[in-house]
Structure 1
Amino acid sequence: MLIIFYFAIKHYRRPQITHNLNNNYPEYKPTVTVLVPIYNEAIVINKTIEAILQSDYPITEILVIDDGSTDATTDIVQKNYGNNKLVKLISKKNSGKSNSLNIGIKNAIGEIIVTIDADTVFHRSTITHLVSHFSDPDVGAVSGNCKVGNIINQLTLWQHIEFVTSNNLEKRAFDVLQCITVVPGSNSAWRKRVVQNIGYYHYDILAEDAELTIRILNADYKVMYEDRAISYEESPETFKSFIKQRVRWSYGILQVAWKHRWNIAHSSNKTLKYFAIPSMLFSYLLFLTSPLIDVIFIASLIEGTKSIYLFALLFYVTDFLNSFVAFKLGKENMKPLLWIFIQRQVYRYLLAYVTWKAVLMALKGVHVGWNKLNRSGNNVHKI
């Protein structure tokens, strides 16, 4: 936590890179294609496209790639945007998100590819901030700042806390160390030429965005984080849907780690090899052993070991300070931090269950499908 905190602050203090790129390169205006892969998104698609159209960046086109929707999604797109020259609908048989994205890239005019999920809403300046980093020819991908747009109950509030602390600390730190392992498909930008050269998205991985990110890093391109490129997405609102989503995420990350184990071990990117991957493995180990850790902790309390009280106090104070700084860096309302202690206790058991389930499924060789979540339309962010 302290190492991540140090580099996150270092990132925040790099105004030349993270806050003044547009001023330094005012003439840099590459062509941009926005990809919106969709499958049964009738409830949310209209708001997503409207937000993109209100972007302050002169985008070249919006490619909406329909993966064989069975609801009214395509009818809504055709009815509302059929006469809009920027919006182009590509329909195909159901074959998965990676295939949709690859078809979009192959048909794209833009030099820069921006991807967004159908339940996500961009801020007006998001694309501008994402694109600005590509003025550096060594940049292959840029991650935006994802936020929860449907804070309607305790579970989504806890996810909001997780998103803020993760994006505003880990992503900042990993940016400085040049070892960002996941550029989220819901808010990302990619240099088209780089994606083409390294072989597009792969179909055999659930975490297709993480897998592509690792290949870009191993190809010696930079992967950046832009905190001003803000998006609001719809997070799971029930425990059942949360478990379903996180099992897919965890299983997908395990697939990526296994698939690229040799490449990572021999990577020239030392921070990826010696910091980011060990940090990820440590997180998995922590989730897997959290019930055992609590048993040992309770046993120590019964035994009356004084050092355990000091350690617990130090841990929770450090964790709270890190969370406080993360909210401060993100200019977020501090009120959710009142829940931080309870969130940490309950949330880690949810993640422990998810991690154990993903690991056991991986060991058994069980196939995990995409398990797309049903949209609620509760993303309350105003365009």
Structure 2
Amino acid sequence: MWYQDILDWLLGFAFYYPLFMAYLWMAGALYFYFSKEQNEPLYNAPPVLPEYPHVSVLVPCFNEGDNAYETIGALLQLNYPHYDIIAINDGSSDNTADIINDIASKHAKVKAVQLASNQGKAMALTMGAMLSSSEYLVCIDGDAVLDPNCITWMVRHFISSSRVGAVTGNPRIRNRSTMLGKLQVGEFSSVIGLIKRAQRVYGRVFTVSGVVAAFRKSALHEVGYWSTNMVTEDIDISWKMQTNYYDVRYEPNALCWILMPETLKGLWKQRVRWAQGGAEVLLKFKNIFLNVKKRRMWPVYAELVVSIIWAYVMCAIFLLWGLGKFVDLPSSLYIKTIIPEWNGVLLAMTCLLQFALSLFIDSRYEPKIRRYYYWMIWYPMLFWLLSAATTIVGLPAALIKDRNKRATWTSPDRGIHQNRTNP
């Protein structure tokens, strides 16, 4: 019957989509690694540049009293000859304002900017960019610790081509003593890092990392800086850059040590925001297929659409399985079990292969990262379900959102303080 065909299609799609994408990402990442990465010097031995243009490091802060000294202190130790630091306090309710004022009073490199009320990260970044006299801006979060050589690795891309509008760095997880922390170490390697490498090979990058990215100021000015009404300003600025024909590159040697949620509640809030941000970009750039000049963004758009469809297909499968426990469904709609069979074993083996490949690549930057391979066996069970669930919640949130409302800050879960690993 026709609905049996539909069910078969749903089950097949739920299985073959992640399988296909896993091998697509692995192939692209391998090409990137062998063609662009393998023969590079290590991240702690940056290349000698023909020039070292002045760079401004923008640090937007909202309630970063616990992290500001550490973050800005690390910035003062950068191995780059010409830079300054602009710390923007976006109406924090804690002692962030006093801390950045104190640092600025002691270090000539640091400028403190105080915004009277919470205007959102996009506005804080735009204000910092406006106050900077530099053509190149490195933007990091107020709880991040930048590697001393990060700026040099990023600036080389801007020097190499005037069409480079942004460079995204390589975030590394600091808090990794809990299970969620360990899983995210592997996730940033096997999913986020792997995908960014592959996307650079295939054409366009879905998004820069909001926690560490560099920008050409003239390109930012051309595209109108960061959008204050988008819940994820990093995704939006990436699409604005690339739809205006600027190149966005990935630099794996540009390391930045970051804090991530270590509670399910904090992780859920973060991923819902990411999912909503992706959906908002789909809605904003829905006319992208009308312009053939923007065709290099078409695969990125299409993949995001398909990933959202996959989330809803997974939801439908679970609903049918659950309903079958309480309602007499037609045999053609009855799903006996969601426990993986042979196809699940194949998918699991593919995941393990992807995790092994990505951790091998990333061991270049963290030699001991392969020890987290064991923890990644739990990743599909937790994070795939989390991804599907947050996508289901994020899409309606994007659809009903007031487009004129400014996106402001909330204080995220940054993990357990004593669980942090010093870079």
For the criterion TM > 0.5, the same-fold answer is yes
> Is 1:61 matched up with 2:84?
yes
SS at match of 1:13: helix
Match of 1:319 in 2: 351
1:87 deviates by 0.4
Match of 2:30 in 1: 9
The separation in 2 between residues aligned to 1:216 and 1:364, in whole angstroms, is 26
Task: Sort the Cα spacing of 1:203 and 1:80 in 2 relative to 1 into closer, same or farther, 3 A.
Answer: closer
> Is 1:380 matched up with 2:404?
no
1:269 deviates by 3.9
Deviation readout 1:136-163 (Å, 9 max, x if unpaired): 2121100001121111311222222211
Deviation readout 1:328-347 (Å, 9 max, x if unpaired): 11105223221323221122
- Residues 163-242 of structure 1 aligned to structure 2 (within 5 Å): 163-242=188-267
Deviation readout 1:99-121 (Å, 9 max, x if unpaired): 11111011112111000001111
> Is 1:112 matched up with 2:144?
no
Would you say the 8 A contact 1:121–1:381 is kept in 2? no
Task: Sort the Cα spacing of 1:240 and 1:264 in 2 relative to 1 into closer, same or farther, 3 A.
Answer: farther
The separation in 2 between residues aligned to 1:297 and 1:92, in whole angstroms, is 52
The separation in 2 between residues aligned to 1:379 and 1:132, in whole angstroms, is 34
Task: Sort the Cα spacing of 1:337 and 1:243 in 2 relative to 1 into closer, same or farther, 3 A.
Answer: same
Deviation readout 1:169-220 (Å, 9 max, x if unpaired): 1000111223102112211000011101111111111111111111111111
Would you say the 8 A contact 2:277–2:398 is kept in 1? no
Please point out which of 334, 346, 360 is paired with 2:382.
346
> Which TM-score applies when normalising by structure 1?
0.90
Deviation readout 1:248-277 (Å, 9 max, x if unpaired): 11111111110111135525243420x222
Identity among equivalent pairs (%): 27
The separation in 1 between residues aligned to 2:373 and 2:151, in whole angstroms, is 30
The separation in 1 between residues aligned to 2:262 and 2:337, in whole angstroms, is 38
Amino acid at match of 1:357: V
The separation in 2 between residues aligned to 1:171 and 1:377, in whole angstroms, is 29
1:291 deviates by 4.2
1:350 deviates by 2.0
Deviation readout 1:328-374 (Å, 9 max, x if unpaired): 11105223221323221122222222111112323444788643315
> Is 1:245 matched up with 2:270?
yes
The separation in 2 between residues aligned to 1:354 and 1:369, in whole angstroms, is 20
Task: Sort the Cα spacing of 1:177 and 1:265 in 2 relative to 1 into closer, same or farther, 3 A.
Answer: farther
The separation in 1 between residues aligned to 2:349 and 2:67, in whole angstroms, is 40
The separation in 2 between residues aligned to 1:323 and 1:153, in whole angstroms, is 19
The separation in 1 between residues aligned to 2:157 and 2:287, in whole angstroms, is 30
Task: Sort the Cα spacing of 1:131 and 1:303 in 2 relative to 1 into closer, same or farther, 3 A.
Answer: closer
The separation in 2 between residues aligned to 1:56 and 1:263, in whole angstroms, is 41
Task: Sort the Cα spacing of 1:82 and 1:374 in 2 relative to 1 into closer, same or farther, 3 A.
Answer: farther
The separation in 2 between residues aligned to 1:151 and 1:99, in whole angstroms, is 31
Would you say the 8 A contact 1:168–1:327 is kept in 2? no
> Which TM-score applies when normalising by structure 2?
0.82
Would you say the 8 A contact 1:123–1:230 is kept in 2? yes
1:281 deviates by 2.1
Match of 1:102 in 2: 126
Please point out which of 284, 291, 299 is paired with 1:266.
291
Deviation readout 1:281-335 (Å, 9 max, x if unpaired): 222222333244468899777699xxx8442232221221111111111105223
Would you say the 8 A contact 1:234–1:379 is kept in 2? no
The CA RMSD over aligned residues, in Å, is: 2.7
> Is 1:43 matched up with 2:77?
no
Match of 1:126 in 2: 150
SS at match of 1:114: strand
For structure 2, the 5+ residue unaligned runs are 1-21, 323-333
Match of 2:101 in 1: 78
> Is 1:162 matched up with 2:187?
yes
The count of corresponding residues between Structure 1 and Structure 2 is 379
Would you say the 8 A contact 2:55–2:137 is kept in 1? yes
- Residues 351-362 of structure 1 aligned to structure 2 (within 5 Å): 351-362=387-398
The separation in 2 between residues aligned to 1:30 and 1:115, in whole angstroms, is 16
Would you say the 8 A contact 1:122–1:230 is kept in 2? yes
Match of 2:325 in 1: none
The separation in 2 between residues aligned to 1:16 and 1:155, in whole angstroms, is 29
Amino acid at match of 2:386: L
Would you say the 8 A contact 1:146–1:231 is kept in 2? yes
Q: For structure 1, which segment, 366-375 or 249-258, has the greater mean C-alpha deviation from structure 2 after superposition?
A: 366-375
Would you say the 8 A contact 2:60–2:121 is kept in 1? yes
